[in-house]
Structure 1
Amino acid sequence: MASPIVVMPSLKHTATLIFFHGLGDTGQGWSSTMAALKPSYCKLICPTAPTSPVTLNGGYEMPSWFDLKTLDASGPEDEDGIKKATQMVHSMIEDEIKAGIPSNRIAIGGFSQGGALAIFSALTLPKQLGAAVCLSGWLPLNKSFPGALKCPPTLPLLQCHGDCDPLVPFKWGQMTASILKTLLSAPEFKSYSGLMHSSSDEELQDVKEFISKCLPPV
């Protein structure tokens, strides 16, 4: 796997944000956007997914956290790939904990497939994370919950979705939001009128405020 893009904090390092890109992108793709909205005491890590064939794209090889087989909500999922990617996320979190950042000062997030990976990883981690953020994503292997849930129900989670998303349908976002309501005490779901499969200034401002609230200065 390529080395992640790391943006060090300008003040004393007391929190970490790990952000996962969408299918076919790289860590570089989101690094400047996320660097602009993270708190100044927060380190940013933007890894790049390994390159592998993606069934949905005719087997074409591209950076992908796990295989995507179909865009049908009830279709087959790459369970092994999702779990393998989740182990990678959990080990990145452990590395930050070993470096002295407590789990409740670590936030993970992502866009699209990266957002799916972030929320699945957060829900299956038996530790209290500072925050989880999912942009234009969904909850993979959702039928494995509530059995697969390991995190405390107090996990702060922000899910954002455009209501005109042609790739990850808005109804997937709504379905994910309704599942998360049964798992967590206060997940937040924000929708953006007219937004397609991308981000907007309004959404990024919401993410900035959420991360600053969940990872306040210490």
Structure 2
Amino acid sequence: MSHTALISSVIAVEGRSPHRSPLIFLHGLGDTGHGWATTIAAIRGPHVKVICPTAATMPVTLNAGFRMPSWFDLRTLDATGPEDEEGIIRATNLIHELIKSEIKVGIPANRILLGGFSQGGALALHAALTFPERLAGVMALSCWLPRHSHFPNEVKTPLDLPIFQAHGDCDPVVPFKWGQMTASFLKTLMKNVEFNTYQGLTHSSSDAELKDMRAFVERTLPLTTN
């Protein structure tokens, strides 16, 4: 399947200096790249290029088959329920191609940061863990690890990949417990997992979370590479 069949558009916010460090951020179900581009651009350094693709519109089982931007089909909010494994793998391959396109123009994999919110965070986490080179890191907000039963066998990245997880403890959409369980599971697989809890936060972001994200971006994509 072609990229254009899976992505409807891509918003790119160039750095104020020649960019050496792309930050690819994936939106949640029903949102667009526009929804996060300005927010993410505000927490990056001048050398970071923000890339916010918008998923193609598709029917989503969880929402009674209504069509909306979605990276893959969501069939249930039950942690042990059936998943759209084919769709998850297809979307993961797409994100891998986006990463490879940056590598082809001379950006080292360890200067590429991946992130996402909700469904986009789930995809970012899955894509980062299954990419054969070590990325700068991954920011996984208010999400879970798709196809978790296939891990650790599916892990292709080096085990020191920096993972920043964030979740509000009042999330009514992706339960906080899912984030806790995901973090606990990831810590059995990976060496560098950070889980941040935000009190009173629902299924959204906050100033406190953005502050911590900024620190993670600065830490994993420093201005100098030495």
Per the normalisation by structure 2, the TM-score is 0.96
Report % sequence identity.
Answer: 58
Amino acid at match of 1:151: T
| Aligned mate of 1:141, from 143, 147, 150 | 147
Answering whether residue 222 of structure 2 is matched by residue 216 of structure 1, we say yes
Aligned to 1:11: 17
Counterpart check, 1:26 vs 2:26: no
Cα distance in 2 for partners of 1:12, 1:26 equals 26
**Corresponding residue of 1:39:** 45
Amino acid at match of 2:76: T
The DSSP-based 3-state class of the residue aligned with 1:44 is strand
One of 63, 66, 72 as aligned partner of 1:60: 66
Counterpart of 2:219 in 1: which secondary structure? helix
Tell me the CA shift for residue 3 of structure 1: 2.3
Q: One-letter code of the match for 1:81? A: G
Question: Hey, what does 2:76 align to over in structure 1?
Answer: 70
Aligned pair 1:190/2:206, yes or no?
Answer: no
Three-state SS of the structure 2 residue aligned to 1:48 is strand
Supply the RMSD in Å over aligned alpha carbons. 0.6
Find the partner of 1:158 among 159, 164, 170: 164
Residue number among 101, 106, 121 corresponding to 1:100 in the alignment? 106
Unaligned runs of 5+ in 1: none
Structure 2 SS opposite 1:120:
helix
Give 4+ residue runs of structure 1 displaced > 4 Å after superposition: none
Contact persistence 2:11–2:37 (CA under 8 A): yes
Instruction: Tell me the amino acid that sits aligned with residue 103 of structure 2.
Output: I
Cα separation, 1, equivalents of 2:106 and 2:9:
21
Tell whether the 8 Å contact from 2:113 to 2:137 is kept in structure 1 after alignment: yes
Report which stretch shifted further, 107-116 or 179-188: 179-188
- Say which SS state the counterpart of residue 55 (structure 2) adopts: coil
Alignment partner of 2:106: what SS?
coil
- Displacement after TM superposition at 1:14 (Å): 1.3
The number of residues matched between the two structures is 218
Aligned position for 1:88: 94
CA contact (8 A) 2:9 2:55 kept: no
Q: Is the 8 A contact 2:174 2:203 kept in 1?
A: yes
Partner AA of 1:70 in structure 2:
T
Query: Is structure 2 residue 140 aligned with structure 1 residue 122?
Result: no
SS in 1 for 2:58: strand
CA distance in 2, matches of 1:2, 1:40: 27
| CA displacement 1:113-144 (0-9 Å, x = unmatched) | 00000000000001010010001010000010
Give distance in 2, aligned partners of 1:43 and 1:183. 30
CA distance in 2, matches of 1:203, 1:165: 14
Please tell me the residue identity of whatever aligns with 1:189: F
Residue 12 of structure 1 deviates from its aligned partner by 2.2
